């Protein structure tokens, strides 16, 4: 049904495409789930708003962390688990972390077998480099080298390899299709999504017994971010509008090394290869903040240290508003071999050759630890009135859109690619298994479908009001000012008020261009509505979590409060209230790691 | 650019290829004067975003904005390139910036081309590793030297700049595979882990797939990642000829 002019979409005349499973998102987790389902012979479609290799996984640089025991034959997945739990500031779910760290090696070798061009060691094994927050022997054995790398283009290599494997498996792609909203039936089971083909502007009900949200991050809620322009939290927005819960939305990672002014990422692998940060006096200041791990402390620690240097007047440049990442001492040969992409990016966006000059860097919004809560099988969970978990039938989530939660309050570098592939696959496996046993999802009524068309109909029929670009800019400005690395009650309160005003303005959002074919203004208007949901959830959760933990750091509550906040935060759009959910301390194989004070 | 004071701005004349299939009229060049920062060398994509704020109907693809996703290949003042990593200082001539879609492919709308043919050619070369490896939970060993052979090949971002700059591809887009697909063909031929080299060469052994490349080298001069498809094509040609004699 073509979207043209001010016409309304109606369930009764909306064409339906039916699949066994649909996956929304063509990045690492979506392609991994897609591959699993295609190989199992199910009628699957991967729905992606961009051609799959344009997904943001392509930008991942440093690598995929996993105890494959290549750099160190004695490496152990349990050490990786310990690091991840500690890195999460103890609100990562230990059953999920255990699953990821243990399943990781098989998945990484599978990717290699698929063709991923990993860099190699002298013995012909997969090359592994040091990354932040990594240790041997449960923090007692010094720095580990556990991040498997394809130079500094690991995400690109991984995404292209997965796309290629999907071509081989014959996966069905709906490329450049935009998913708008979930369709729930009367029993609140998910029955598919409303989506349109961007090129033609034709809208459909994509019906499926299993729907996977693999829609990635939402870094574009901030003005300055390493994220692609497409990272607008579409799946998270869809889940919130469907009345489902989101978890730990206040937990946003600020990557220590975004290029000053441009926001583009410079991998932590630079520090893993021996680079380090300096202030205006040329001091390697991380020695003061993290005497042991120094520049390879975990990201939240390094980002805060950099901000303190800047706040205390030791920043670099005329405005003293950034730090320098020094790499020249590593030599041109190593930079060419191990960090060729960084050399390119640095020349393009910072106008410096890192072989000669340090790169100007500043902490930049990078990754959402929070998202749609799931169990280890990728099944989406929501919270019932009595606080207990409930599986949402028919719905799965994986990757950055999900919160399984392996990252808790702070993600370790190299763990996102591992999260994508491990849980993309586990979702696929669970769907495959459920199909064999038979899935009972009842039909949605026309009324149900019309409910899910409300959002897009509102945008399509708007007659006057504000365009989306200005509203988006103002939203990004508020998030940058009030919900950055350091947060304070006063500032956040004001931020929430400003978001309220922006929400009111968004009610009058006007799509001036009503054309049907490849209407990018329509896509951007719908993306803005998703950004707004994510931003508001972030703001309210940040305000409510009255402690400092992981990436969430408050001036008024500077300490971690395990008594009250060793918990996930849970947020619903309807009530705009925050409740708590227990963190999992019940891994299956190892003993749970109990909280202690984090130092690096 | 609402946060920048007027005195810090200058005007750029930008001319954009417009075609709207909804209206169905003939394509035309739209001229716009846009305000850009005076002292900052922004990218072509940034300029295009500013133009879209003036006229929200201007359509183009973009994603990573750092030259790794391959979305925003376009023809910039006559040369194919990525909007996001081409600075205005490099692109603009005589204060004029002319943006057109990649040549040789059907235009969907404005700067957006239909990439189907390009992707179909890529799929033809079996762009995946073929091995006899049974899954034993281990990697396939590869020496550093063998892995080095993939450098300059695997980094392709499928932006299409090379193939759409190639006259041989313009003439025979269905039969000549084009530089992008052939670069990938050679990437898998070169991979020490792949066992299907002879098979791959068999499929390339006709008058068109590879041999329509006449070494014009446009692919090399436009590749935004600095790759050399022409060299890869020559290596394939050598292998095919060697087999034949």
A9-27 per-position pLDDT tens digit: 999 999 999 999 999 999 9
- pLDDT for B133 equals 84
Cβ neighbours for A511, distance < 8 A, ≥ 6 positions apart: A459, A460, A462, A468, A521, A522, A525
Contact present, A459 and A525 (Cβ < 8 Å)? yes
The 8-class DSSP code of residue A155 comes to H
E strands, chain B, are 9-18, 28-37, 73-76, 79-82, 96-100, 107-109, 112-113
A264 touches chain B (CB under 8 A): yes
Q: Which chain B positions have a beta carbon within 8 Å of A516's beta carbon?
A: 22
Cα-Cα-Cα-Cα torsion A117, A118, A120, A123, nearest 10 degrees, comes to -90
Task: Report the pLDDT value the prediction gives residue A586, as an integer from 0 to 100.
Answer: 98
Among the partner-chain residues A56, A151, A168, the one whose CB lies closest to the CB of B128 is A168
Active-site residue, from A299, A304, A487, A581: A299
List all residues of chain A from 127 to 156 with a beta carbon under 8 Å from chain B: 150-151, 153, 156
ipTM: 0.97
Instruction: Give the separation between CA A343 and CA A335, rounded to whole angstroms.
Output: 7
Q: Which of B66, B155, B193 sits opposite A59 (nearest CB)?
A: B66
Residue B22 has pLDDT above 90, yes or no: no
Q: Tell me the mean pLDDT in the region A542-546.
A: 98
Q: How far apart are CA A85 and CA A92, in angstroms?
A: 6
The Cα diameter of chain A in Å comes to 69
- Is the torsion defined by CA of A530, A531, A534, A536 positive or negative? negative
Q: Is A167–B138 a contact, with Cβ atoms under 8 angstroms apart? A: no
Residues from chain A that touch B20, judged by Cβ atoms under 8 A, are 515, 517
Say if the Cβ atoms of A118 and B139 lie within 8 Å: yes
In this model, does residue B6 exceed pLDDT 80? no
Contact criterion met (CB < 8 Å) for A160 and B154? yes
pLDDT at B3: 53
Query: Going by C-beta distance under 8 Å and a sequence separation of 6 or more, which residues neighbour residue B183?
Result: B153, B156, B162, B227, B229, B232, B233
Q: Taking residues A146-164, what's their average pLDDT?
A: 98
Residue B7 pLDDT more than 90? no
Backbone angles phi, psi at A549, to 5 degrees: -155, 135
Residues of A with CB below 8 A from B120's CB? Answer: none
Give me the mean pLDDT over the A455-483 stretch: 94
Q: Which residues contact A12 (CB under 8 A, 6 or more apart)?
A: A446
Q: In degrees rounded to 5, what are phi and psi of residue A137?
A: 50, 55
- How many Å apart are CA A41 and CA A56, to the nearest integer? 27
Is it true that the peptide bond before A405 is cis, omega within 30 degrees of 0?
A: yes
Chain A residues close to B68, C-beta within 8 Å: 58-59, 153, 156, 341
Q: Do A156 and B59 make contact, defined as CB atoms within 8 angstroms?
A: no
3-state secondary structure of A277: strand
Residue B29 three-state SS: strand
H or E element at residue A204: strand A202-213
Helix (H) or strand (E) holding A564: helix A562-565
CB contact under 8 A, A125 and B139: yes
Q: Report CB contact under 8 Å: A114, B129.
A: yes
Q: What does the DSSP 8-state code read for residue B23? A: T
pTM over 0.90: yes
Q: Give tens-digit pLDDT for B28-81.
A: 999 999 999 998 899 999 999 999 999 999 999 999 999 999 999 999 999 999
Sole residue written with tokens 């690395």: A485
What are the chain A neighbours of B56 within 8 Å (beta carbons)?
467, 469, 512-513, 521
DSSP tally for chain B: helices H, then strands E? 9, 7
Contact B57 A110 (CB under 8 A): no
- Catalytic residue flag (residue A581): no
- A407 near A88, Cβ under 8 Å? yes
Share of chain A above pLDDT 90, in %: 97
Task: Locate A171 and state its tokens.
Answer: 């996966």
Check CB contact of A126 with chain B, cutoff 8 Å. yes
What is the average pLDDT value for chain A, to the nearest integer?
A: 96
Residue count of chain B, please give it: 245
Q: Which of A54, A168, A345 sits opposite B70 (nearest CB)?
A: A54
> Are A56 and B70 within 8 A, CB to CB?
no
Q: Which residues contact A443 (CB under 8 A, 6 or more apart)?
A: A185, A191
Is residue A55 less than 8 Å (CB to CB) from chain B? yes
From CA B75, how far away is CA B68, in angstroms rounded?
Answer: 18
List the single residue in A with minimal CA-CA distance to B85: A348
B67: left (phi over 0), alpha (psi -120 to 50) or beta: left
Contacts of B99 (CB under 8 A, 6+ apart): B14, B15, B16, B17, B44, B48, B74, B75, B76, B83, B111
Q: Say which residues have a Cβ less than 8 Å from residue A596's Cβ, sequence separation at least 6.
A: none
Percent of chain A topping pLDDT 70: 100
| Chain center to CA of A539 | 17
Residue from A27, A166, A520 to probe the interface with B (highest B Cβ count within 10 Å)? A520
A120 touches chain B (CB under 8 A): yes
DSSP A208-263: EEEEEE-----GGGSSSBSS-TT---HHHHHHHHTT--EE-TT-EEEEEEEETTT-
d(CA A429, CA B207): 45
pLDDT band at B2 (very low <50, low <70, confident <90, very high): very low
Find chain B residues with C-beta within 8 A of A121's C-beta. 144
> Which one of B64, B117, B183 would you mutate to disrupt binding with A, by most A Cβ within 10 Å of its Cβ?
B64
| 3-class DSSP state of B223 | coil
Q: Rounded distance, CA A250 to CA A238, Å?
A: 18
**Model confidence at A80, in pLDDT bands (50, 70, 90)?**
very high
Q: What residues contact B78, with CB distance under 8 A and at least 6 apart?
A: B98
Verify whether the Cβ–Cβ distance A120 to B142 is below 8 Å.
yes
- Find out whether A339 and A273 touch, Cβ atoms under 8 Å: yes
On chain A, the residues whose CB falls within 8 A of the CB of B53 are 469
Q: Which of B129, B139, B146 to mutate to test the interface with A (most CBs of A within 10 A)?
A: B139
Interface test with B, best of A68, A114, A127, A228 (most B CBs within 10 A): A228
Q: What angle do CA B149, B151, B155 make, to 5 degrees?
A: 140
Q: What are residue A197's DSSP bridge partners?
A: A177, A202
Q: How confident is the model over B122-167, as pLDDT tens digits?
A: 999 999 999 998 888 899 999 999 999 999 999 999 999 999 999 9
Tell which residue, A183, A177, A208, has the closest CA to residue A195.
A177
Q: Which helix (H) or strand (E) element contains residue A403?
A: strand A402-403
Residues of chain A contacting residue B2, judged by C-beta atoms under 8 Å apart = 470, 473
CB B238 within 8 A of CB B210: no
Between CA A365 and CA A256 the distance in angstroms is: 9
Interface check for A232 against chain B (CB to CB < 8 A): the answer is no
Reported as a single tens digit per residue, the pLDDT across A60-79 is: 999 999 999 999 999 999 99
Residues 6 or more apart from A405 whose CB is under 8 A from it? A88, A91, A92, A93, A96, A247, A248, A369, A370, A373, A568
Answer yes or no: are the C-beta atoms of B239 and B189 closer than 8 Å: yes
- Whether residue A172 is predicted with pLDDT greater than 90 in this model: the reply is yes
| Confidence bin at B4 (pLDDT 50/70/90) | low
Mention every residue, 6+ apart, whose C-beta is less than 8 A from residue B168.
B176, B178, B212, B213, B214, B216
First CA to last CA distance, chain A:
57
Q: How far apart are CA B211 and CA B164, in angstroms?
A: 17
CA–CA distance, A309 with A313 (Å, rounded to integer):
6
Is B128–A53 a contact, with Cβ atoms under 8 angstroms apart? no
Q: Is A284 left (phi over 0), alpha (psi -120 to 50) or beta?
A: beta
Q: Which residues of A513-534 are buried (b: 16+ CB within 10 A; e: fewer)?
A: bbbbbbbbbbbbbbbbbbbbbb
Task: Select from B95, B99, B87 the least CA-distant residue to B51.
Answer: B99
Tell me how far apart the alpha carbons of residues A507 and A511 are, in angstroms, rounded to a whole number: 12
Residue A5 has pLDDT above 80, yes or no: no
* pLDDT at site A194: 98
Distance CA B242, CA B245 (A): 6
Q: Are strands A379-383 and A359-368 parallel, antiparallel or unpaired?
A: unpaired
Q: What is the pLDDT of residues A494-528, one digit of tens each?
A: 999 999 999 999 999 999 999 999 999 999 999 99
Q: Which of residues 484-523 of A touch B (CB under 8 A)?
A: 512-513, 515-521
- In chain A, residues with a C-beta closer than 8 Å to the C-beta of B126 are 168
The string of pLDDT tens digits covering residues A199-252 is 999 999 999 999 999 999 999 999 999 999 999 999 999 999 999 999 999 999
Are B20 and A105 a contacting pair at CB < 8 A?
Answer: no
Rounded Cα gap, residues A161 and A167, in angstroms: 10
């Amino acid at each position: 049904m073509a979207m043209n002019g001010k016409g309304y979409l109606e369930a009764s005349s909306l064409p339906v495409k039916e699949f066994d499973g649909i996956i929304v998102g063509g990045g690492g987790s979506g392609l991994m789930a897609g591959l699993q389902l295609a190989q199992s012979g199910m009628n699957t479609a991967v729905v992606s708003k961009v051609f799959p290799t344009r997904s943001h996984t392509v930008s991942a640089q440093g690598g995929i962390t996993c105890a494959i025991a290549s750099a160190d034959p004695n490496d152990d997945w349990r050490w990786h688990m310990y690091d991840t739990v500690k890195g999460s500031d103890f609100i990562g779910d230990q059953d999920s972390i255990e699953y990821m760290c243990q399943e990781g090696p098989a998945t990484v070798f599978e990717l290699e077998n698929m063709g991923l061009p990993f860099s190699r060691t002298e013995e012909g094994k997969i090359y592994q480099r040091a990354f932040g927050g990594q240790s041997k022997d449960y923090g007692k054995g010094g720095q580990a080298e556990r991040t498997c790398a394809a130079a500094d283009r690991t995400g690109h290599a991984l995404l292209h390899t997965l796309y290629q494997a999907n071509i081989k498996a014959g996966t069905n792609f709906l490329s450049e299709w935009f998913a708008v909203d979930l369709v729930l039936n009367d029993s609140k089971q998910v029955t598919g999504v409303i989506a349109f083909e961007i090129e033609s502007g034709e809208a459909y009900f994509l019906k499926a017994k299993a729907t996977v949200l693999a829609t990635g991050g939402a870094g574009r809620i901030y003005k300055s971010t390493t994220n692609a322009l497409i990272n607008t939290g579409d799946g998270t927005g869809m889940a919130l509008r469907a009345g489902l819960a989101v978890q730990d939305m206040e937990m946003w990672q600020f990557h220590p090394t975004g290029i000053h002014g441009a926001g583009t990422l410079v991998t932590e692998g630079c520090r893993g290869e021996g680079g380090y940060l300096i202030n205006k006096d040329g001091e390697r200041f991380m020695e003061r903040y993290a005497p042991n791990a120094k520049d390879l402390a975990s990201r939240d620690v390094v980002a805060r240290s950099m901000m303190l240097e800047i706040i205390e007047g030791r920043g670099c440049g005329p405005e003293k508003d950034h730090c320098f990442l020094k790499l020249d001492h590593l030599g041109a040969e190593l930079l060419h071999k191990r960090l060729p992409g960084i050399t390119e990016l640095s020349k393009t966006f910072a106008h410096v050759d890192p072989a000669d000059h340090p790169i100007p860097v500043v902490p930049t919004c990078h990754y959402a630890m929070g998202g749609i809560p799931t169990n280890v099988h990728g099944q989406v969970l929501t919270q019932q009135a009595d606080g207990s978990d409930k599986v949402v039938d028919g719905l799965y989530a994986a990757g950055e859109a999900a919160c399984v939660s392996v990252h808790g309050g702070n993600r370790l570098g190299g763990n996102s690619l591992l999260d994508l592939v491990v849980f993309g696959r586990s979702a696929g496996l669970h769907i495959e298994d459920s199909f064999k046993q038979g899935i009972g999802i009842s039909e949605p009524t026309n009324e149900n479908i019309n409910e899910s068309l409300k959002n897009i109909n509102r945008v399509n029929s708007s007659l006057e009001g504000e365009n989306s670009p200005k509203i988006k800019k103002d939203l990004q400005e508020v998030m940058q000012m009030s919900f950055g690395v350091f947060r304070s009650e006063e500032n956040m309160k004001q931020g929430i008020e400003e978001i309220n005003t922006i929400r009111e303005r968004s009610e009058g959002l006007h799509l001036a261009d009503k054309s049907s074919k490849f209407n990018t203004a329509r896509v951007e208007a719908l993306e803005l509505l998703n950004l707004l949901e994510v931003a508001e959830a972030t703001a309210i959760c940040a305000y409510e979590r009255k402690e400092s933990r992981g990436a969430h750091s408050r001036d008024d509550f500077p300490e971690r409060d395990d008594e009250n906040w060793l918990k996930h935060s849970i947020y619903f759009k309807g009530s705009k209230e925050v409740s708590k959910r227990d963190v999992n301390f019940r891994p299956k194989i190892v003993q749970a790691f109990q909280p202690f004070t984090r130092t690096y | 650019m609402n946060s920048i004071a007027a005195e810090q701005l200058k005007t750029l004349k930008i001319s954009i290829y417009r075609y709207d299939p909804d209206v169905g009229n003939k394509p035309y060049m739209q001229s716009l004067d846009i305000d850009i920062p005076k002292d900052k060398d922004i990218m072509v994509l940034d300029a295009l975003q500013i133009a879209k704020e003036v006229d929200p109907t201007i359509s183009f693809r973009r994603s990573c904005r750092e030259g790794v996703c391959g979305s925003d290949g376009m023809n910039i003042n006559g040369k194919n390139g990525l909007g996001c990593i081409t600075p205005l200082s490099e692109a603009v001539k005589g204060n004029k910036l002319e943006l057109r879609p990649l040549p040789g492919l059907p235009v969907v709308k404005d700067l957006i081309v239909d990439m189907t043919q390009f992707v179909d050619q890529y799929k033809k070369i079996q762009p995946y590793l073929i091995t006899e490896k049974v899954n034993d939970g281990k990697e396939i060993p590869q020496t550093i030297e063998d892995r080095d052979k993939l450098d300059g090949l695997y980094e392709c971002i499928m932006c299409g700049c090379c193939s759409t700059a190639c006259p041989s591809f313009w003439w025979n887009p269905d039969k000549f595979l084009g530089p992008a697909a052939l670069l990938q063909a050679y990437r898998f031929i070169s991979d020490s882990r792949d066992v299907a080299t002879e098979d791959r060469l068999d499929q390339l052994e006709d008058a068109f797939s590879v041999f329509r490349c006449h070494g014009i080298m446009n692919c090399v001069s436009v590749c935004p990642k600095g790759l050399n498809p022409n060299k890869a094509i020559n290596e394939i040609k050598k292998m095919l000829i060697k087999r034949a004699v």
